[in-house]
Amino acid sequence: MKSITINGSQRESVGKKATKALRNAGQVPCVLYGGDQPVHFAAAELAFSKLVYTPNAHTVVINLENGKTFNAVLQDIQFHPVTDRILHIDFYQLFEDKEIALNIPVQLVGNSRGVKNGGVLRRNNRKLRIKALPANLPDFIEIDITPLKIGDKVAVGDLPSDKYTFLHSDNTVVCQIKTSRTAVADDDEDEETEEGAEAAPAAEGAETPAAQE
């Protein structure tokens, strides 16, 4: 998984006055959990733009002025209800031998047969939550929708998960092709219909002599 580096400074004072002063200076107060004790630090608000304002998932390398470095993931973020400015961010520290739960974006590739025939692609889940070791965290979960016909769907149970575990039930629908007013029959369905129509007269013709006897 791709990583983003955040350069910050550890803060000793965590009171309301100190926090307000940080925000007024364009800094975002943060807390890193998961270690022996929480680590309070702050970083420039602009440093979080590539981490927060993106649909992609990233791990984070937190570099502090005192020389300490931590690997982490974003756990929670608070925005101002009016201005949407970042008020506070919580991170969770990563360890190579400990699994972490994370939401991973779903990336669809290919052109669905059902959509070509007028069906509508519905994305039920744009992100899926998985549990894995940090080294096995994927950038995204790729699904090839090329073979999907109208009425077909992809559920969590259909997806490979050798290096991580999905934290969803197997029948959770990720995407599906729904019918629409403009939808037309699939090519395979047309062929089956034509074969059935050709076979019917032949069967009727075979019964005619027996009926005459």
Position of tokens 């890193």?
Answer: 32
Count other C-beta atoms under 10 Å from residue 15's C-beta.
Answer: 8
CA distance linking residue 184 with residue 107, whole number of Å:
26
Count other C-beta atoms under 10 Å from residue 74's C-beta.
Answer: 21
Structure tokens at 42: 């702050």
Q: Check if the beta carbon of residue 154 is closer than 8 Å to that of residue 173.
A: yes
In angstroms, the first-to-last Cα distance of the chain is: 77
Residue 191: phi, psi to the nearest 5? -65, -40
pLDDT score at 199: 47
SS3 211: helix
At residue 99's C-alpha, the angle toward residues 66 and 31, to 5°, is 35
CA distance linking residue 108 with residue 120, whole number of Å:
14
SS3 153: strand
Nearest by Cα to 123 from 137, 112, 113: 112
Structure tokens at 37: 């004790």
What is the sign, positive or negative, of the torsion defined by CA atoms of 170, 174, 175, 178? positive
Domain boundaries, the chain: 3-94, 101-187
SS3 51: helix
pLDDT score at 209: 44
pLDDT score at 212: 45
CATH architecture of the domain with range 3-94: Beta Barrel (2.40)
AA letter at 84: D
pLDDT score at 14: 78
Q: Show the DSSP H helices in 74-186 as ranges.
A: 113-116
| Tens digits of pLDDT across the chain (213 residues) | 899 999 999 987 778 888 889 999 999 999 999 999 999 999 999 999 889 888 889 999 999 998 999 999 999 999 999 999 999 999 999 999 999 999 999 999 999 999 999 999 999 999 999 999 999 999 999 999 999 999 999 999 999 988 999 999 999 999 999 987 766 666 555 444 444 445 444 444 444 444 444
**What phi-psi label fits residue 67: left (phi over 0), alpha (psi between -120 and 50 degrees) or beta?**
left
Superfamily of domain 101-187: Ribosomal protein L25, C-terminal domain (2.170.120.20)
